[in-house]
Structure 1
Amino acid sequence: MKTLKIAAIPGDGIGKEVVPAAIDVLNTISEIHGGLKFEFTEFPWSCEYYLEHGDMMPKDGLDILQSFDSIFLGAVGNQHLVPDHVSLWGLLIKIRREFEQTINIRPAKVIKGIRSPLLNPKDFDLIVVRENSEGEYSEIGGKIYRGEDEIAIQNAVFSRKGTERAMRYAFELASRRKKHVTSATKSNGIVYSMPFWDSVFKEVSKDYPDISTDHQHIDALSAFFVTQPDKFDVIVASNLFGDILTDLGAAIMGSIGIAPAANINVNGKYPSMFEPVHGSAPDIFGKGIANPMGQIWTAKMMLDHFGEEELGTTLLDVVESVTNDGFLTPDIGGQYTTKEVTDEIINRLKTFK
């Protein structure tokens, strides 16, 4: 039997509701499969933890997490308690950076039974590969002067190693999908980093002659996500561009509450981390109506990461059968609770053929 040790961090807000729901689903899969077992260890690291301890996680938190096979995160942030830059850089981004989770991947597709806000979504099925360690989200910069002379400088950092790594990941992914990669750029307005990005993309593409390519400026690409999402397969993007595109991808699916994500460590030194896109949603926390789909789809991505693609596909098929039959939470036009949707998924998993 394969046993996977998973560090569960529900975090803040609805993370405390959807992580237990997804864990119940994964444990059901384990019961059905027989040859796969999950050992979950839960950690209370969150904004509430920060108020009590002065840190988002203990000083040896990363040492603790390093012994696990992966990290299953719910949500980070409650700006009413802790400023966002403190909570994110103290937990989420700290784990991403220290564990060299250099690739972030986020799929978006038409989900049966969920109405896209697009008039004709045309069965789009795309995935964004986001460089996850540098780019516009660097820690280099500073401020000088005060008052009307105050200046803030934020430096974007693009290394050849980091840029090429993200692009090769995208090409490898496309080779298993529809064999097309789109590069998100803005070389007509950003005069150093984006022409560099374009040149690396052109070089890398030569090693993948069977993969067709194009590049789109980020403003036009954002528009095409709305008008022609079906034309895309794999999109590779910088840290900031990828972040923005993937929220747009969630929106055209019908709700940010259904969008999954994975932060991938590609060198095997540290665990990867799996988290939905939705955030902590403090406005609905405690009402029992949070959409568990984002966390459950994230669980599917974790199964895929461990080589259990067949189980992952089964899980998403079951989720789509549930949504197609109208078991929807209020954010996507339904009236079912978190528990009711989760229970329906679990019941169907037990009888899925």
Structure 2
Amino acid sequence: MENLVIHNLFNRIYKNKTVLVTGHTGFKGSWLVYWLNKMGANVIGYSLKAPTIQNHIELLSLEIPSIIGDIRDLNKLNETFEKYKPDIVFHLAAQSLVKFSYENPIETYDTNVMGTLKVFETCKKYNVKAIVNITSDKAYDNKEWIWGYRENDPLGGYDPYSSSKGCADILTNSYRNSYFNITKYKDSHNTLLASCRAGNVIGGGDWAQDRLLSDIMVSVSQNKKVHVRNPKATRPWQHVLEPLSGYLLIGQKLLEEKVEFSDAWNFGPSDKESITVEEIVKKVKKYWNKIDYEINCNPNQLHEANMLKLDSSKAHIILKWNTVWNSETTIEKTVKWYKSFYDKKTILTNEHLKTYIKDASKKGIAWTKS
């Protein structure tokens, strides 16, 4: 019964489809390939090796083709597309860390811009039906204002990472106009391309450095004090499954050849889920009292946005997409995942996915209806 319910999601569009996910060894990518695999898709992962010693993708033990390759390697991309001929590509591979981008700007731009360009070129060459390109909320020209950014607001980016994501989004718009124009669909091309921007995501299985929740969990597991920087920074925190449901919903629409969905989309929580870094730490402590922390406000630290929110009205109204879990549930699930891993050596990925789908179904979320 469980598999039957999962297979029915997203109008059963992914069952037996060949789906290539770049960046599958990363945090969001690992959750995405797990969900796709559960829905009966033929999933292929393409990515660099997992960036951390402990990593979610290996813990999942999925029996899927896992190609270790760089998105900047055009020959390797061509070999992979030639062999598997994907119906749809979810492009998540990226250099995703702000601090690393300051130290390694050339690698950041090369990966996030030229790598994305090479993925698009390969998709074009092999006539891929649908592309869902994942960028970031940091792609917007952040004015530090209290309103959420809409899809038609200017793109930009202060730091190299944010700027590279803005560039990747501009590149996406260019390819959608130049090569995958919806007015020429089924005439000069057969590809629909969408871009998705999401805010800060948390959940079990993230061990990347310089990310708040993963840093907290590692510190707690080692009985070390957590050092919190930028405590007043406000973010719209959401569980990793929330934007993934949006990406999958967009992918469904593109595979169904609905050209109006070939566009840019925001996937973020409501305003009330925007809370400060310090509040997050206090909530984490409620679910794992081993945490000990101190605030470190370094006046010379690298610039990071203090206020950044997305307006997801377009997704709510047109896609009928909505979030399922509030920030309290999101933090609780995240902490329990790590606590189970460190205390019991078990992971709760499958349990959390099932609970999320069940809760979404209770709320009547569109993608749960067959």
Q: TM-score, normalised by structure 1?
A: 0.40
